[in-house]
Amino acid sequence: MSKEITITLPDGTQKQAQAGITGIEIAELIGSGLAKAAIAFEANGEQRDLSDSVSEDSNISIFTIDSDEGLEIMRHTIAAQVLARAIKNLYPKAKLAIGPIIEDGFYYDFLSDEPVSIDDLPAIEQEMKKIVGTKAEINKTTHSKKDAVKSFNDLDEPYKVQIIEDSEQLSGFQIYSQGETGFIDLCRGPHLPSLDKAGSFKLTKISGAYWKGDSSNEMLTRIYGTAWKNEKDLKKYLTHLEEAEKRDHRKLARVMDLFHLQEEAPGMVFWHPKGWSMYVALQNYIRRKQTENGYDEINTPLVVDRKLWEASGHWDKYREKMFITEIDEEHANEKRVNALKPMNCPCHVQVYNQGLKSYRDLPIRLAEFGSCHRYEASGTMHGLMRVRGFTQDDGHIFCTEDQIESETAGFISLLSDIYTELGFTTFDIKLCTRPETRVGSDEVWDKAELALESAIKKLKIPYTIETGEGAFYGPKLDFVLTDAIGREWQCGTFQSDFNLPDRLGAEYVGEDGEKHKPVIMHRAILGSFERFIGILIENYSGKMPLWLAPTQLVLMTVTEEVIDYAAELETVFNEINIRVELDSRNEKIGYKIREHSNAKVPLMAVIGKEEKSNESISIRSLSKNDTNTYSIDEAKDFLLKNSDFPS
């Protein structure tokens, strides 16, 4: 007789069962309705198929399609069982590689001797629907390494064979099949018990991808898709995608003439005059806010000797992300190795270290619009959202341990004001704790994490904990804002660092006359200027607030006779620092209006004979879609009042 085991459910309820009980039997033990809806389960933190058994006391969770875990398992099944089989049905000579889940969907990589393009996706999707329509059961068998290799060698699937051979395990290889179809795939699982539990899906795009992400390997075809529990959720997501596509900052940048990127400088932004005016306006706004909050602005070198990066710990932990330069110094016996700074913190410590500091001087708040460079793989770069060269609104607060709480409160207040004034009314806070790769002792990390968590608890602000997501030198608070269409963006950060002051010799003289190490609070609100401008463009769909708009007002002439009057207006508005553009081209006024509307110019004025004779101006608002007529002095007052920084 088999032994009894204890099954503990998420609510703490315990049930007795026989060792060897399967996941589906556990679901039936809980209730018939749950058993009918179940698609997989978790035992002691390990996800398993419903057919798997449990032979020891276990904490159990049953997954349905309504859970986040269940949705991911369904997506994985769509990729590894449905899309993979459709590819083999339509392209029998194709060689299958991998099919993982990604955010909101999945992809599958394969090698095909026949070209597969985006035009083929509808046919592949139709084949997938036929496969799902069979409602076939999905079965799993477990094999030794030798048998698994033989199975996929027999099928001429070299990528599956390589995956198995590269594995250190000798047994336990899972092979999934669909009924009696003959289709099999290697997978860690778990999968749906049958295809009748598959939700609604859509193939979205196709691209190339190197096997194992290595450019020295062959290029595979990658098909992306999304899957949701029902058609309603799928349509909602696709509508969201369409809206995001309309807001794509790369497309809007072309229409608005803001910036471009090119192959000769991958990941580096070429700002055009209009884009740079937006950049400068945002920078000046942040500069004013920081000055009002007690920050001193500094500037530090772009290229720094490796010795400083070694001392700070960045060379060991961050070397692969750094751009390295070597030069032959005069009278030196060896090359000097420098790096373009990937971050600003070690340089800020050098500024702090100039001159003896007292506890009375603290906190010292240093800020820099610091130009940084980090290597990003070419496949990960995306417009302004991920670049290799960027500028941070970086800052470092040198303070005592007793000042952490007040500095945390002050920073969150400043960040909240800025986000609100930039149009983001909500944000979430995540406390990120020590990662596996880090500097400093556990004792120091305990103190740093406790100080940061204690500070935010006293502020009574909701937060979540992200285990292992801290910086390599200290824990941090990450601030995640939500844009106009519900997307989340991690931008701001506040990091508690007890390690860097010790590594770089930062000190202050305490009230006791002894030397002490300050705590360094690393902080940024926007993060990368480039990325944040991309977020702003997409949040506003290009219709920027007046103070931030590249061109604030365009003057459009109807006839040649009014060009001189329009030029006078241009001079008047330039004198009060309004970014004004005169469009005196010999084009129809309707054409001009459409063109500047597409370029998202917030204010437009049509200058005709009536305006000239009355010495007036009629200004149309793009966002409000209304027109008001002003005298020149009234127009100046209106523009000055509405074009200044938010407050």
Return the pLDDT at 646.
79
pLDDT classification of 2: cutoffs 50, 70, 90: low
The encoded tokens of residue 634 equal: 């009234």
* Catalytic option among 81, 185, 345, 393: 345
Name the percent of the chain lying above pLDDT 70.
99
pLDDT at 261 over 70: yes
CA distance readout (Å), 314 to 307, 334, 345, 387, 390: 10, 22, 10, 20, 18
Q: 3-state DSSP: the chain helix, strand, coil percent, rounded to 5?
A: 40, 30, 30
Give the DSSP H/E element, type plus range, for residue 255. Answer: helix 249-256
CA distances to 281, 376, 393 from 371, in Å: 17, 16, 9
Point out the catalytic residue in the list 81, 174, 178, 392: 392
User: Contact, 599 vs 278, CB < 8 A?
Assistant: no
Would you place residue 331 in the very low, low, confident or very high pLDDT band (cuts 50, 70, 90)?
low
Based on the residue annotation, tell me whether 374 is a catalytic residue of this protein: yes
pLDDT tens track for 386-426: 999 999 999 999 999 889 889 998 999 999 999 999 999 88
* C-alpha closest to that of 580 among 645, 646, 643: 643
Q: What is the pLDDT of residues 31-58, one digit of tens each?
A: 999 999 999 999 999 999 999 999 999 9
Where are the domains positioned within the chain?
4-64, 69-245, 273-539, 553-643
Average pLDDT, rounded, for the chain = 92
Q: Which pTM does this prediction carry?
A: 0.81
**In the predicted model, what is the mean pLDDT of residues 181-208?**
92
Q: Looking at residue 423, what is its pLDDT?
A: 92
Catalytic residue among 229, 348, 374, 523: 374
Q: Confirm whether 476 is a catalytic residue.
A: yes
Mean pLDDT on 124-135: 96
In the set 109, 393, 394, 583, the catalytic residue is 394
Pick from 505, 469, 495, 317: nearest CA to 396: 495
Please state, in angstroms and as integers, the Cα–Cα distance from residue 256 to each residue in 77, 151, 189, 227, 546, following that order: 43, 57, 47, 34, 15
- Average pLDDT of the segment spanning 264-280: 96
d(CA 636, CA 596): 21
Helix residue spans in 301-342 (DSSP H): 306-312, 314-318
Q: Does the domain spanning 553-643 belong to CATH 3.40.50.800?
A: yes
Contacts of 151-158 spanning 24+ positions with Cβ under 8 A: 151/175, 151/184, 152/186, 155/184, 156/95, 157/95, 157/96, 158/95
Q: What is the rounded CA–CA span in Å between residue 548 and residue 536?
A: 10
Domain 273-539 architecture: 2-Layer Sandwich (3.30)
Task: Return the CATH superfamily for domain 4-64.
Answer: Beta-grasp domain (3.10.20.30)
> Which of the residues 476, 523, 600, 620 is marked catalytic?
476
Least confident of 201-210, 227-236, 411-420, 431-440: 431-440
323-340 average pLDDT score:
80
Query: Is residue 522 annotated as part of the catalytic site, yes or no?
Result: yes
Burial tier of 158 (Cβ tally within 10 Å: 0-12, 13-18, 19+): middle
> In Å, how far are 245, 419, 536 from 482, measured between CA atoms?
17, 10, 11
Distance in angstroms (rounded) separating the CA atoms of residues 352 and 619: 51
Rounded to an integer, the average pLDDT of 345-366 is 96
Q: Catalytic pick from 289, 396, 438, 620?
A: 396
- For residue 452, the model assigns a pLDDT of 84
Whole-number pLDDT of residue 42: 94
What number does CATH give the domain 69-245?
3.30.980.10
CA–CA distance, 524 with 79 (Å, rounded to integer)? 39
Q: What pLDDT does 332 receive?
A: 60
Helices (H), 422-486: 442-458
**Residue 442 annotated in active site:** no
pLDDT at 647 over 80: no
pLDDT of residue 52: 94
- Answer positive or negative: Cα dihedral of 60, 65, 66, 69: positive
Q: Which pair of structure tokens corresponds to residue 166? A: 């590269």
- For 109, how many CA atoms within 13 A lie in the half-sphere containing its CB? 15
Q: Which of 289, 341, 522, 612 is catalytic?
A: 522
What's the pLDDT at 571? 96
- Asked about 143 being catalytic, the answer comes back as no
Q: How far is CA 584 from the centre of its chain?
A: 42
Tell which residue, 600, 538, 543, has the closest CA to residue 240: 538
Check whether 344 has a pLDDT greater than 90: yes
CA Rg value for the chain: 30
Count the Cβ atoms, other than its own, within 10 Å of residue 441.
11
The answer to whether 39 and 73 are in contact (CB under 8 A) is yes
3-state SS class at 379: helix
Picking from 52, 320, 78, 378, the residue whose alpha carbon sits closest to that of residue 223 is 78
Say what the pLDDT of residue 3 is. 87
Mean pLDDT of 488-495: 93
pLDDT of 193 higher than 90: yes
Q: What is the pLDDT of residues 132-183, one digit of tens each?
A: 999 999 999 999 999 999 999 999 999 999 999 999 899 999 999 997 788 9
Which alpha helices (H) appear in 313-441, and where do they start and end?
314-318, 345-352, 404-421
pLDDT at position 1: 52
Report pLDDT digits (tens) over 567-617.
999 999 999 999 999 999 999 999 999 999 999 999 999 999 999 999 999
